[in-house]
Amino acid sequence: MNKPMRDFVLETSMSKWEFTAKYNMTASDAESMRLPDLLAMASDEDREDFETLSLGYTETFGAPALRQEIARTYDTVQPDELICFAGAEEAIYVAMKVLLTGDDHAIVITPNYQAAETLPLSICAVTGVALDIDDDWNLDLSKIEAAIRPNTKLISINFPNNPTGKILPRATFDALIEICRKHGIWLFSDEVYRLIEKDEALRLPQAVDAYERGISLNVMSKAYGLPGLRIGWLACKDQKFLTRCERYKHFLSICNSAPSEVLARIGLKNRDTILTRTRAIVRSNIAEWNGFFSDFPHLFDWREPDGGCVAFIRYKGPEGVEEFARRAVEEAGVFFLPSSVYHSELTPVPENCLRVGFGRLHMPEGITVLRNWLTRNSP
């Protein structure tokens, strides 16, 4: 099939404004850690490993010590059931290229991180199943079942979801696994926001722990606040799949950055401390947003998301969300992503929505600037 891939609209928008707008109020990650703060958490042995590191190549699968630490974040995964990548994006790319052929069919949940649909669409037939904004972004499993074909090979999900922050109810997640099991379908599960749920009771199992054909994606970028390390990974019980991923990676990054692997290992060993920090920032910022949106109910349809660092909410102003987002960044230096960035080729995406972030420390200051700008420009 090999269709040309469309531009990555989200990343194009981020490239334009992420580093120039004063207040990135749409960021999808937690506040980044500083290198000295991370090294301060390290044991003497790990700090010495970093400071005396040979800057050579590392293993394509990822350093054994790193994979051992990653395995501890799962219930049933062993180090040899993991492969590391240069961030989550490379992992998504390789998984889709390895799993899918032109004769296959995939099902993708929308709205989503664009790579989740653009990559499968470049390979095979794809059906989208949309989360319902008017039903608290719930997923209708009857639509999943209706979309399944004899050649359906993969269902791709992302919970907590980017951009909505939705987490499936546990019963729905379990039923989805049973659907996959009944039809022998792979379940590709983007779990990069797991562990920063609003309520720990909402937390879902990781697909690789729950299903023999589950593939779990995670990364140091989101919940851990370490995107500059560019360390992501896939966990899967199928050794043939992992070996094929390794062979494909030979054509891409070949191996990860050796310093990043040591730093990621330090981060994972101190994950409880780091995640406590992330959750505190998210809780504080959501409280700030609650106060802000309660003052502007005529402009924003806000609801607290289930988890993650982002929410996708309706803007109700008369000029529409695209004009609002343009003026906010150009006039106030406040950057949001509007609905057009989440355009899907598979399903309609609700119009007049914007992605709101709440993982960064500058959020309260940005909210004050936004409030003042809106007050000055209100009719």
What's the per-residue H, E or C state across 112-159? CCCHHHHHHHCCCEEEEEECEHHHCCECCHHHHHHHCCCCEEEEEEEC
pLDDT of residue 303: 92
Can you give the residue ranges of every domain in the chain? 9-34+272-377, 46-269
Angle formed by the axes of helices 363-377 and 321-332, nearest 10°: 110
Domain 46-269 class, CATH top level:
alpha beta
DSSP 205-234: PPHHHH-TTEEEEEESSSTTS-GGG--EEE
pTM, to two decimals: 0.96
Which burial class, exposed, middle or buried, applies to 240 when counting CB atoms under 10 A from its CB (0-12, 13-18, 19+)?
A: exposed
CA distance 199 to 324: 32
The answer to whether the 9-34+272-377 and 46-269 domains have the same CATH topology is no
* Mean pLDDT, rounded, for 76-93: 98
Distance of CA 157 to the CA centre of its chain: 11
Give the pLDDT score at 1. 53
- Whether the CB-CB separation of 43 and 270 falls below 8 Å is answered with no
Mean pLDDT on 155-183: 98
203-258 residue pLDDT tens: 999 999 999 999 999 999 999 999 999 999 999 999 999 999 999 999 999 999 99
Task: State residue 379's pLDDT score.
Answer: 53
pLDDT of residue 16: 81
pLDDT band at 2 (very low <50, low <70, confident <90, very high): low
Write the CATH number of the domain with boundaries 9-34+272-377. Answer: 3.90.1150.10
Task: Say which range, 65-69, 78-82, 307-311, 375-379, has the weakest mean pLDDT.
Answer: 375-379
pLDDT above 80 for 301: yes
Express each pLDDT in 50-65 by its tens digit: 999 999 999 999 999 9
The per-residue pLDDT for 6 is: 82
